[in-house]
Amino acid sequence: MKLRHDLEHDLEHTIPPAGGPDSQWLFSAMTARSLAWVDAVRGGCVVDLASGMGQDTLALAERAWHAFAAQRGGSPAPPLVLGIEPSQRMIRFGQHVQRQRCRGLETANEGVVRVTGSPSAADLVRLVRGLGEEIPLRSESVDALLCKGALDHFMDPALTLLEIGRVLKPGGRVVIALANYESLSCRLGRWLDRGRPRGSGAGHPYYEPPLDHLTRFTYASIVALTRPPLRTRKVEGLSLLWGFSPWGRLLGRLPAPLQGVLLRLAGGIARWRPSWADVVLLVAEKAR
């Protein structure tokens, strides 16, 4: 099946704005927890689906290589980390990011990232052009797959989940992070803006998906993504009250240590009540 996509999207809506301390906390927690759940799976092939500029792909590769090196050759071969991305333009950006981030990295013609002076890690990362609805991999060939902040851009999330289930090995893990548009923050934002006419000069409201988001996910629809052969292992809430202006103003008036205390407290509430969280992290595994 061939689906229509924007195959040449670039940096718009890809790099989050710097924002305030709540934004920094959210994006940091989203990355840290997503990578941690993928790290828990030790295997030969890890996929970063809709890899964009490849920051997470490279982070996964570095972690996988360190874990492999620590085994002192106990595994028959080093792991392979694949960044699958539909936009050739974003793949080129990703190659540039990798060159800038890692001294000594050289990108081969096929998109293989080679590490100067470390030939055993030469094929650790590969950037591949492909769609989530048509993942260009063999069935049962992937140990872990990450899809962070991207599934709501896809034309057909349900078909993508079927494809993920196809390519995962039995016992393989998928980690999905998505914005929750029925979060406590979104509901409070709509309440605060009640009666305010749309287009009043305030810009696109944070509590509604941007125009390039094709699906409006909520906690309920995120949890419903796992269907056989996938089964839910964990649902985590990340961050609370992101984008809600009174919360942002309060944080902005406080010194950094107090900001950290409040953000950690809010993060704890989000973990306790993930349906309120700004971002929901779903971890599922394929039945053995």
**Distance separating alpha carbons of residues 275 and 234, to the nearest angstrom:** 13
**Distance separating alpha carbons of residues 38 and 46, to the nearest angstrom:** 8
CATH number at residue 90: 3.40.50.150
Look at residue 111 and tell me if it is in a domain.
yes
The answer to whether 149 and 177 are in contact (CB under 8 A) is yes
Q: In which domain, by residue range, is 155 found? A: 21-286
pTM: 0.87
3-state helix vs strand vs coil in the chain, percent to 5: 40, 20, 40
Based on DSSP, count helices (H) and strands (E) in the chain, helices before strands: 8, 9
Read off the pLDDT of each residue in 238-254 and give the average, rounded to a whole number: 95
Look at residue 6 and tell me if it is in a domain.
no
Look at residue 12 and tell me if it is in a domain.
no
The Cα angle at residue 157 between residues 175 and 28, in degrees rounded to 5: 35
pLDDT tops 90 at residue 202 = no
139: amino acid identity, one letter? S
Mean pLDDT of the chain: 84
The pLDDT tens digits of the residues spanning 152-170 come to 999 999 999 999 999 999 9
DSSP element (H, E) containing 156: none
pLDDT tops 90 at residue 247 = yes
Look at residue 134 and tell me if it is in a domain.
yes
Look at residue 10 and tell me if it is in a domain.
no
Q: Averaging pLDDT over each range in 19-33, 41-55, 274-288, which range is the top one?
A: 274-288
pLDDT of residue 18: 57
pLDDT tops 60 at residue 112 = no
31: amino acid identity, one letter? T
The pLDDT tens digits of the residues spanning 4-14 come to 555 555 555 44
Read off the pLDDT of each residue in 226-235 and give the average, rounded to a whole number: 96
| Percent of residues, the chain, with pLDDT higher than 70 | 80
pLDDT of residue 144: 96
The pLDDT tens digits of the residues spanning 33-50 come to 999 999 877 778 999 999
Query: What is the domain count for the chain?
Result: 1
pLDDT tops 60 at residue 230 = yes
Tell me which of 56 and 101 has the higher pLDDT.
56
Look at residue 228 and tell me if it is in a domain.
yes
pLDDT of residue 113: 45
Look at residue 9 and tell me if it is in a domain.
no
pLDDT tops 90 at residue 268 = yes
pLDDT tops 70 at residue 281 = yes
Peptide bond into 229 cis (omega under 30): yes
Look at residue 197 and tell me if it is in a domain.
yes
Q: How far apart are the first and last CA of the chain?
A: 28
- List, edge to edge, every strand of the sheet that includes 279-286: 105-107, 112-115, 125-129, 80-85, 45-49, 142-148, 168-179, 279-286, 230-238
pLDDT of residue 94: 77
pLDDT of residue 197: 67
Helix locations, the chain, DSSP H = 21-39, 55-70, 88-101, 157-167, 184-192, 219-223, 245-253, 256-272
Residue the block writes with tokens 């896809």: 154
pLDDT of residue 154: 94
pLDDT of residue 76: 62
